[in-house]
Chain A
Amino acid sequence: MSTSRRSLRYHCQLRQSAGERRAETHPLTWRFREDGALIGLEEYVEKDGYAAVREVLGNQSPQDVIATMKEANVRGRGGAGFSAGLKWSLTLQGGDLPRGYLVCNADEMEPGTFKDRLLLEQQPHLLIEGMILGAYANNSCFGYIFLRGEYIEAARALIQALNEARAAGWLGKNIAGSGFDFDIALHTGAGRYICGEETALISSLEGLRANPRTKPPFPGQSGAWGKPTVVNNVETLCNVPAVMRHGAEWYQGLSGGLSDDGGTKLYGVSGRVNRTGLWELPIGTSAAELLDRAGGIRDGRALKTWLPGGGSTGFLLPEHLELALDFDTIGEYGSRLGTGLLTVVTEEQSVVSLVRNLEAFFARESCGWCTPCRDGLPWTLKILQSLERGEGEQGDIELLEQLASDLGPGKTFCAHAPGAAMPLESSIRHFRAEFEAGIAHERRAAHEDPIPAGGV
């Protein structure tokens, strides 16, 4: 391989030194090596790996595991923030019910998000261990890792780790002599952002078009092939081994006084900052601290606005930098924590252009199942394009606000359209003048006297 290829090649790397990361405080990343190399089975086991599986299987009941997870309150790290323990407690099991599936959502495609990639590429055994514990708690007979097709390096790491785990008896029949059987297959996707939506993911896993499904029934009642199915994000599942090893109280204590939520979060920063990257920090850490760790804005510019956790979260302002980055706090300010990876927008960058870029993404990635999403997003995009070119007309902003409302929660099967509405609505709320600057002329006749539907 030439120097050009080598020097440009992407490798995901944690920004924290080994000195800062300890088993008692950094459950997700304390084992990570300074050189960013893959942690194989031997090294993982040496560093306390699979200890939680050995401890739990056979010694605790599935209900005990669920109770501990509920108490720890590990909130879904894929962005929704729903308690994993609560989700598990709602999975149908027992009696003559069939055993179902545990699915890891590794379809990381949220704009601005690159955290699961790190966990998959460098420490796949932690995920496998978390999945074994999850399967035990939910009485799942089989697991799937739904990995996006573009994550080639992660696929290599997972295939190796699954083979190692199977050979060592951590997967398969009678795991660690406990009498519990469970195995995992890697399922790689073929593109489309919508596959990351829980029920669309199940459709895709079944080999169908990735259209979401109505809830209820929830996947825990009827998911893949009609069986009880649990879908959890990579980072969520990676928290399980430490919770089971050290207990719910310890996990809750990791965030100190920063947040009502427990544990750590794999936070990140992208955009025009000096040191982009990922850090594992107590949940509730502020964006100000993250920006500080990222070395501030490039070229001494000022911060204009930021997204707290991906393209489907609402814009926040510099005045919000001191807020605790947790689900409830960010939710109070018209946004969502989402994935917890900040996208930084600097003073000279256009909000209208960025929102146009985001809505183009959402329009392209709509699966087309629900009318507001399928038709509303391309319409939104067209208006934004005309405002960006400075060719907008009076009434466009009000129309965008109406669209943001019509795309909002409760009008579609899944959260794709509400996710698209959030940056749209919040950007107009915070930066109305930028949108107004794109208006060139008066309202045209089509607006004043629209042809009634069905008329001639």
Chain B
Amino acid sequence: MNDTASFNAQSAIATDGDGFVLHEEDRDAILHERDHYEQPQAACIEALKIVQKRHGWVPDGAIPAIAGVLGIGVANVEGVATFYSLIFRQPVGRHVILVCDSSSCFLTGFDELRDAITAELGIDFGQTTADGRFTLLPVCCLGACDRGPALMIDDDTYGPVPPDAVAELLKEYA
């Protein structure tokens, strides 16, 4: 299995049509993850996250490259990449805002918080600001229900976020 995988990895890098080249460090990290599981497919989600961490999103060319490293089918990677909400298949802004739209936040001011953010940034859910600074997305219950309405910016969770605190908070993310 290891021989096949490394052979495929080489060929994927060499033949990739989009000019996407998997970074050496990322390839090593993916191979390291693969060893945590019984089968290489299991490292697929982590591989997508590794690529996304470097590029901000998962470019098309990364799909066959990951498939090559893991020695699995391209469709197996693409199917997974399009299923999970935190894998981005198009470019996102420098910062990703995830606003919790589940029940507890809904009951404690989600509508007002969403309105404040969309007004401040001039974008709706699923969109990125023209300057490439923010992408705005809804997210499943963030598990911050005791302090709703809650949101995440990159790795930071905030709550409760009053609508009038939004502008000040966003200033922190250049």
Contacts and interface: CB of A to CB of B under 8 A. Distances in A.
B49 A190 contact: yes
A149 B49 CA distance: 10
Contact of A190 (B45, B79, B157): B45
B10 interface: no
Nearest to A8: B158
Interface residue tally on B, bucketed by range = 35 or more
A225 interface: yes
A297 B16 CA distance: 60
Contacts of B160: 8
Nearest to B102: A111
Contacts of B147: 10, 276
A201 B61 CA distance: 28
A2 interface: yes
A160 B168 CA distance: 33
A270 B104 contact: yes
A158 B172 CA distance: 28
A9 B146 contact: no
B69 interface: no
A150 B98 contact: yes
Contacts, number: 171
B145 A152 contact: no
Which of B41, B141, B148 has the most chain A CB within a 10 Å cutoff?
Answer: B141
Nearest to A101: B38
A270 B148 contact: yes
B143 A113 contact: yes
B84 A114 contact: no
Contact of A8 (B39, B108, B161): B161
Contacts of B150: 10
B116 interface: no
Interface string B92-108: 00000010011110111
A113 B141 contact: yes
Interface in B38-55: 38-39, 41-46, 48-49
Given A191-B84, A207-B42, A270 B49 contact: no
Contact of A193 (B46, B140, B156): B140
A370 interface: no
Nearest to A1: B172
Given A5-B172, A190-B49, A272-B108, A109 B143 contact: yes
Given A9-B156, A150-B139, A349 B165 contact: no
Contact of B101 (A151, A204, A271, A357): A357
B4 interface: no
Interface in A343-362: 343-345, 349, 353-354, 357-358, 360-361
Contact of B103 (A111, A185, A276, A367): A111
A45 interface: no
A12 interface: yes
Given A152-B157, A185-B36, A343 B107 contact: yes
Contacts of B83: 192, 209-210, 367
Contacts of A262: none
Interface in A262-295: 268-272, 276-278
Contact of A109 (B42, B140, B169, B171): B140
Contacts of B5: none
A205 B44 CA distance: 10
A270 B149 CA distance: 11
Which of A188, A270, A277, A360 has the most chain B CB within a 10 Å cutoff?
Answer: A270
B15 interface: no
Interface string A1-21: 110110011101000000000
B155 interface: yes
Contacts of A148: 143
A311 interface: yes
Interface in A185-243: 185, 187-193, 204-210, 224-225, 227
Which of B36, B83, B104 has the most chain A CB within a 10 Å cutoff?
Answer: B104
A148 B144 CA distance: 13
The 4 lowest CB-CB distance pairs between A and B, nearest first, are A191-B85, A270-B145, A190-B84, A207-B44
22 contacts: A4-B171, A9-B157, A113-B145, A114-B144, A117-B143, A148-B143, A150-B139, A152-B157, A188-B49, A189-B86, A190-B45, A190-B85, A190-B86, A208-B76, A208-B80, A209-B80, A270-B107, A272-B108, A278-B146, A311-B103, A343-B103, A365-B140
Interface of B: 36-39, 41-46, 48-49, 76, 79-80, 83-87, 98, 101-104, 106-108, 139-148, 150, 152, 155-161, 165, 168-169, 171-172
Interface of A: 1-2, 4-5, 8-10, 12, 108-114, 116-117, 148-153, 185, 187-193, 204-210, 224-225, 227, 268-272, 276-278, 307, 311, 341, 343-345, 349, 353-354, 357-358, 360-361, 365, 367
Given A190-B84, A192-B85, A343-B145, 13 more contacts: A2-B172, A12-B143, A113-B145, A114-B144, A150-B143, A152-B157, A190-B49, A191-B87, A207-B39, A227-B38, A268-B145, A270-B148, A365-B140
